[in-house]
Amino acid sequence: MTPGHFPTVVIEKITPLIDGGRYPIKRTPGETIEFEADIFKDGHDLVTAMLRWRPRDEATWQETPMQPLVNDRWSGRCTFSDIGPWEVTIQAWGDLFRTWREEFEKKHHAGFDDLTSETLEGAAHVDKAASRAEGPDSERLTELAESMRTLDREALVHVIQSAELNTLMAEYADRSHATEYTPYLPVWVDRKEALFAAWYEFFPRNAEGHGDRGSTFRDCLPRVEDAKSMGFNVIYFPPIHPIGFTKRKGRNNSVTSEPGDPGVPYAIGSDAGGHKAVEPALGTLEDFEWLVGEINKRGLEVALDFAINCSPDHPYVKEHPEWFSHRPDGSIKYAENPPKKYEDIYPLNFNTPNWKALWEEMRSVLLFWARKGVRIFRVDNPHTKPVAFWEWVIAEVQAKFPDVIFLSEAFTRPKMMCSLAKAGFTQSYTYFTWRNTAYEMQEYLTELTTTEMKWFFRPNFFTNTPDILPTFLQTGGRPGFLIRHVLAATLSPVYGIYSGFELCENEPVPGKEDYWDSEKYHYRQRDWDAPGNIKDSITRLNRIRATNRALWQFERLHFCTSSNDQILAYVKQSAGGDNIILVVVTMDPHNFQSSWIDVPLETVGLPTNEKYLAEDLLNRENYIWTGTTNYIGLNPHDKPAHVFVLKRLVGRKNSLDHFQ
């Protein structure tokens, strides 16, 4: 309520609104939000409503008029420029001048003889606006008010309907009894890489692919260069911290390690330090900072794993034993996810009586690495820690470094995943990994792009991880890898691959989704250019992503009707509508499949009665189509997908030389 008067306008049922305004809507610079609300007041006064927004720490509002829809529903759009916290509100009031003008015009058209009193009333409204204005605007309003008192009726009607008068009266409207919606609606604006990026994950110790020894930070640049050449712009490292020796795991998760086994990077902590140190076998902290600098020089950036795990050798075990859970015999509990046991890892207890000190220490770890140039953190298993902790620590870190991005690795229940996203995680791992059919994919993407989730849940579609070798990749061969890459790279503007994907590595632990000879446990030998790799296809698709704005956003996604449930087709369109991408991909990695595809031409703004160009950017082929329904045939071993850009033909419609 504005001080000094009661609310004169009802403002309710605002959308989007996350948990009643408890959590912020997420945007990036240049992205638009369309807000809607029910706005009305008593009586017959016309209402004017303004959508207003500003950075949270600024006093001046930006604003734009809201437009009435139907049944007292209003709509307005705003766009955000800078990263950081913003707030939005709606201000509405009974517009006395517009109400007067409507009544005057009705009486004039009804043929009322004497409108002297009404004329003086309107002129008084203009005089008051002149008193609120300054400089030339004030002088002009005064002139218009005087002219209203002296003009004949026809000339008066011309003045009150003029764009000049109505623009000035809108600019200096009487808002003394305006109602402003509170509390203000929070919006968090991330940098653009939060919405559009391609991640490449590799273990620094295996950068060179030697099977008998590890690599160092100084050996990583060839792997970085290779990732850059494929079109990736985020280099993601699993934990780089000292690895414990007690209960160190051996090859293939053996409980007995052999001499020279490097241990699991997630078992953090040794005599060399804990979460603010680096594994000596990788080099020094100065070496890591050098690597970050070299990666940045190449136009890429580093994402670092934030894994809140401790080996039995971690300094925290001696310094803060109260931060861990203990058995009745006094020993510290190791991590378990039955039937899996992690004897080399002690999880921290976030419900310890000394929880404040623990929380503050975790904040200090994140700030330590942020000061070393890390601006992206992939957080390991955040769903096993309190949501309240994440809400607090993310806000604390982003208060100092608003450009920091947090990725939630929470493969868990849907409501927990959503809660973590609302609490502040910039991006989230998803169920994409396990959606294998066209129906499953369409159902899942429809949920992500059309429900409330689209305002706070940014999916990062990883094709595989060191912990997950999906069944589709195990059984689909090289075509399976090509198919999953097309899906990940075109359905989501943010996606990632774990190294080895480009080599189609797919040997599993029998009956499990784990990699056999996983590099989590030993040095992995690789030929990074081995025959059968799909690096060329990955590179081509990343280039397509970089040059087509339709693939830079997530929400404007339309699925096409397909006559074959083994073929998935979908259209993405840029915000301006001028870039239209149609993806058609087989979901069968073994057999030829064909289908009739219905392209939603009207939805994307293409004429239904003209020929148009379907330019296949992935396979470098061109087709001229007519109408909405067209035939597609896909052989997964040769051509598992099309990535078309759709364009109108101009001039000679039978020539590929004349299109826009």
Residues acting as catalytic residues: 380, 409
Which value, to the nearest 10 degrees, does the dihedral of the CA atoms of residues 571, 574, 576, 582 take? Answer: -30
Q: Give which of 479, 442, 475 is closest to 634, Cα–Cα.
A: 479
Beta bridge pairs of residue 18 = 23
Q: Give which of 79, 61, 18, 56 is closest to 395, Cα–Cα.
A: 56
Give the side-chain half-sphere CA count within 13 A for 580. 20
Q: What are the φ and ψ backbone dihedral angles of 135, each rounded to 5 degrees? A: 60, -140
Q: Report helix, strand or coil for 618.
A: coil
Please name the residues in contact with 35: beta carbons below 8 A apart, sequence gap of 6 or more.
Answer: 14, 15, 16, 51, 66, 75, 76, 77, 78, 88, 90, 185
Cβ count near 86 (within 10 Å): 26
| Distance between start and end Cα atoms, the chain | 53
Place of tokens 């009486």: 107
Cβ count near 334 (within 10 Å): 19
Instruction: Report residue 463 as tokens.
Output: 């094709």
Please name the residues in contact with 263: beta carbons below 8 A apart, sequence gap of 6 or more.
Answer: 243, 244, 245, 248, 249, 257, 344, 521
Amino acid at 543: R
Q: What does DSSP assign to residue 424?
A: T
In order of 3, 98, 128, 397, the CA distances from 174 in angstroms are 16, 11, 8, 42
